[in-house]
Amino acid sequence: MSEYEELLQRAIHNGIEVFEDYDFEEESRFKGLYCDGVIALNSELETNTEKACVLAEEIGHHEMTAGDILDQADTSNRKQEKKARLWAYKEMITLDKLLDAKHCGCSNRFEIAEFLAVTEEFLQDAIDSYKSIFGAGCQKGDYLIMFEPFNIFIYNK
């Protein structure tokens, strides 16, 4: 089962209805929206990988946000948006999953994104988010994960 299919099952299990090919208005900036237990994914999303990234964020809204947060000029709404995105990053790109990618021979962002079934943009956004949390890098077991520039090293004590 693909990551996208697993997320769909999770949404359904949590009582969320998902419209996978919703026709937003032409030139809509939205890739997906969540409201009152319903997720709509833009019909212009081309791959299951892209759909999985958007679906994860919208499930994050179900888990982490409340109310109408579309007005991103409001500081409170931006904070809620950030929480939903962080939830999605922690769901799709954990530090352990980054190490799994390294163990499987992935050596660049493209390979890591493909291994994790996420878009390169989503991977970069997650890396940037982790950098804001951990700083330049962090140690995980015998590994040093650097966020800028992004790389994973075996940590020699």
User: How far apart are the C-alpha atoms of 65 and 141, rounded to whole Å?
Assistant: 33
pLDDT of residue 155: 75
Q: Are 40 and 51 in contact (CB under 8 A)?
A: no
**Which residues fall within 8 angstroms of residue 144, CB to CB, at 6 or more apart?**
137, 138, 152, 153, 154, 155
Residues 6+ apart with CB under 8 A from 130: 89, 95, 138, 145, 147
Q: How far is CA 23 from CA 7, 45, 70, 82, in A?
A: 21, 11, 18, 25
CA 100, CA 138: separation in Å to the nearest integer? Answer: 16
> Collapsing DSSP states into helix, strand and coil, what is residue 53?
helix
Distance CA 132, CA 59 (A): 22
pLDDT per residue of the chain (157 residues) written in tens, 0 to 9: 899 999 999 999 999 999 999 988 766 788 999 999 999 999 999 999 999 999 999 999 999 877 766 667 778 777 878 999 999 999 999 999 999 999 999 989 999 999 999 999 999 999 999 999 999 999 999 999 999 899 999 876 5
- Please report the pLDDT score of residue 70 as a whole number: 67
Q: Is 157 helix (H, G, I), strand (E, B) or coil?
A: coil
Q: What is the topology classification, in CATH, of domain 1-92? A: Arc Repressor Mutant, subunit A (1.10.10)
Over its C-alpha atoms, the chain yields an Rg (Å, rounded) of 16
Closest to 88 in 3D by CA, of 21, 24, 34, 157: 34
pLDDT score for 69: 65
Whether pTM > 0.85 for this model: the answer is yes
Domain edges within the chain: 1-92, 94-157
